[in-house]
Amino acid sequence: MKRISAAVALTAVGALVISGCAADGGGNSGDDSGLVEGSSITAAWNQAFFSMNGNTSFGNATANNNINYLVLDGFNYYNNTPELVQNTSFGSYELVSEDPLTVTYTVNEGMNWSDGTPIDAADLMLYWAAESRALDTPDFDPNDFIDPETGEFTEAFPADVVFFDSGATPTSGLGLVSETPVIGEDGRSVTITYDQPFVDWELTFATMGEMLPAHIVAKKALGLDDNEEAKTALLDAIENADDAALAPISAFWNSGFNFTEMPDDPELVTASGPYMISDYVADQFVTLTANPEYNGDNAPSIEEITIRFIPDPLAAVQALENGEVDIIQPQATADITTALDGIDGITVDTSLGGTYEHVDLQFDLGKNPENIFSNPLVREAFMKTIPRQEIVTSLIEPIIGDDAIVRNSQIFVPGAEGYDESVAANGSDAYADVDIAGAQALLAQSGITDTSVCILYASNNPRRVNEFALIQASANQAGFNVTDCGSEEWGGLLGTPGAYDAALFGWQSTSLGVTNSLPTFETGGINNLNSYSSPAVDEIVSKLNVEFDEQKKIDLQIDLDTQLWADFYGVTIFQFPEVTAISDRVTNVTSSILAPTVFWNAWDWEVTDAGAEE
């Protein structure tokens, strides 16, 4: 869940991420066709890349993770079934003990970063330190050091503080691994021991798209030149809990991989996956080139993939029709589906995806001087004004017809086991229709004098512009003064104190784990962007983390869903319709309901004979 083609039922580790002939699902499975030199294709995405670290509160966005997935290798990934695939050509993991929960992760011998440096225990240990936050300075609050204009940390961030911005909490995931891992004698493995059982343990450690090069982090943070010396210094810092070294290491891990054009320092794009970033022109495109050091099973056929950033869906369709791009997955509108119907030489798939639209309300640190949504009466009033059915009827139904429905759960996907039962119990029916009179009464009762609500959304996304206009018109009837905080840089601003009062965006599922959505709602979770904190919710989360019984998991999720609606957390609106259009000059392209959707098997893509003849 920061910073979003076949319809399947999902249960709602990893976190959600902020949105935007078939392959066999397991890499190229011994396919010996090899890399086709000089081959290239272009795909389009609706938001520009801005960070090679998708594990921070700033960088956790689909626009980043689509690319990071292809440049950073890991222990497993989801195919488009969807099912979890162990990436055994990269490494392996073994459940050593269930009590205490103990797992050993081993990187295969001969796996290297793109600069030739071996991938080994130093990389695994940095991943643990960052994703567990076990070595962080206690009780440090970073909110005073976030730039409200960009969402990034300011230069005033204290240099002596150890703070990894991964959103780890001590109640879930690697936050439960407080004991420093044990490095194996081979120097390529670590054994981690959990403080208590964790139901989604298989999804917590270095899945594809996540693990950064430890030697690069240590070189930049500690002013070193030699790769092996840097790795040794990093391991010493972690194993000795050396705050003086860990402070700059954590600071570089947090921000050192943020860039919006090709960095001057080529070491910042050091890769371990089948591709590496070879070019980046600000706001225009990122080019990925086959990584010559990659020797895993997911070796690519196409030498170069360029991802163009085209926020306007109709412009993406036009680029596809003109032959400027080969693959698009734009936000779907009726105009988009109509336009695609008129193009020859393409394949189009339209279905429900794994992303859902919603409105978050800032419980604290909003833009309104009275911190308007800290008041539950105002939250309830605003929720009553959001025209959910009108949005679905006017913007989504023309695309997918009867499949367009209002989503009435914060936790369950429509059609998933538990969804109907939860909707019947969770209290979402109170917001089935707009209630202006009810909102006016609550607003008057609240005592709020400044009713301004600034909504953050993607200002360059036509559908979001229309949604904002509908919400603004409805809420203003009840006495709110809805203002426009729309921005093309909306993704980096999510969670930034003082930047907005409400946010309109999508969460995209990254896994099938039962804990997938929990970092959005638990206190301090990486996707908790609105300062929401509920002891009741935290208690449910702690139970879900250790519950292995399937029916009890569903019951707990229903309890969680009910509590979120009772707290006036915000409203869900709809499940995204997903449109994928593919030129006939590229084959083996299929989409997954989970992130990274259409990019999940880019290593299997091939340029067709038709493409070669052009």
* 186 in a structural domain: yes
Query: What gap in Å lies between CA 51 and CA 212, rounded to an integer?
Result: 12
* 8 in a structural domain: yes
Least confident of 23-32, 249-258, 311-320: 23-32
Position 4 scores a pLDDT of: 27
Question: Are 232 and 369 part of one and the same domain?
Answer: no
DSSP single-letter state for residue 105: E
pTM of the model: 0.87
Question: Are 118 and 237 part of one and the same domain?
Answer: yes
pLDDT, average across residues 448-473: 96
CA 614 and chain centroid, separation: 36
Name the residue range of residue 153's domain: 88-207+213-255
* 78 in a structural domain: no
Using the structure block, give the residue that is written with the tokens 């700033």. 58
Question: Are 468 and 536 part of one and the same domain?
Answer: yes
Position 482 scores a pLDDT of: 98
Number of domains in the chain: 2
**Cβ-proximal residues to 394 (8 Å cutoff; 6+ apart), any chain:** 466, 470
Q: Which of 255, 285, 311 is the last residue of a domain?
A: 255
Using the structure block, give the residue that is written with the tokens 């081959």. 39
* Residue pair 603/41 in contact by the 8 Å Cβ criterion: no
Q: Which residues are paired to 137 by β-bridges?
A: none
Beta strands in 403-475 (DSSP E): 452-456
Question: Are 137 and 275 part of one and the same domain?
Answer: no
* 83 in a structural domain: no
Give the amino acid at 23.
Answer: A
Q: Which of 255, 285, 317 is the last residue of a domain?
A: 255
**pLDDT of residue 425 exceeding 90:** yes
Long-range Cβ contacts of 222-231 (<8 Å, 24+ apart): 222/248, 222/249, 227/115, 227/117, 231/120, 231/122
Look at residue 536 and give its three-state secondary structure: helix
* 79 in a structural domain: no
DSSP single-letter state for residue 455: E
CA 115 and chain centroid, separation: 27
Q: Which of 224, 255, 286 is the last residue of a domain?
A: 255
**Cβ-proximal residues to 182 (8 Å cutoff; 6+ apart), any chain:** 190, 191
Query: Tell me, what CATH number does 173's domain have?
Result: 3.90.76.10
Least confident of 234-248, 494-508, 600-614: 600-614
* 197 in a structural domain: yes
**pLDDT of residue 326 exceeding 90:** yes
Query: What gap in Å lies between CA 502 and CA 359, rounded to an integer?
Result: 7
* 81 in a structural domain: no
**pLDDT, tens only, 81-124:** 889 999 999 999 999 999 999 999 999 999 999 999 999 999 99
β-strands 606-607, 452-456: how paired?
A: unpaired
Question: Are 48 and 194 part of one and the same domain?
Answer: no
Position 611 scores a pLDDT of: 47
Question: Are 468 and 551 part of one and the same domain?
Answer: yes
Question: Are 282 and 403 part of one and the same domain?
Answer: yes
Query: Tell me, what CATH number does 343's domain have?
Result: 3.10.105.10
Question: Are 175 and 109 part of one and the same domain?
Answer: yes
Closest CA to 84 of 198, 169, 582, 93: 93
Question: Are 519 and 388 part of one and the same domain?
Answer: yes
Least confident of 27-31, 114-118, 202-206, 263-267: 27-31
pLDDT, average across residues 587-608: 94
Question: Are 57 and 134 part of one and the same domain?
Answer: no
Residue-level length of the chain: 614
Position 15 scores a pLDDT of: 55
Query: What gap in Å lies between CA 46 and CA 109, rounded to an integer?
Result: 38
Question: Are 238 and 266 part of one and the same domain?
Answer: no
Question: Are 589 and 498 part of one and the same domain?
Answer: yes
**Cβ-proximal residues to 144 (8 Å cutoff; 6+ apart), any chain:** none
Give the helix/strand (H/E) hosting 95. strand 91-98
* 54 in a structural domain: yes
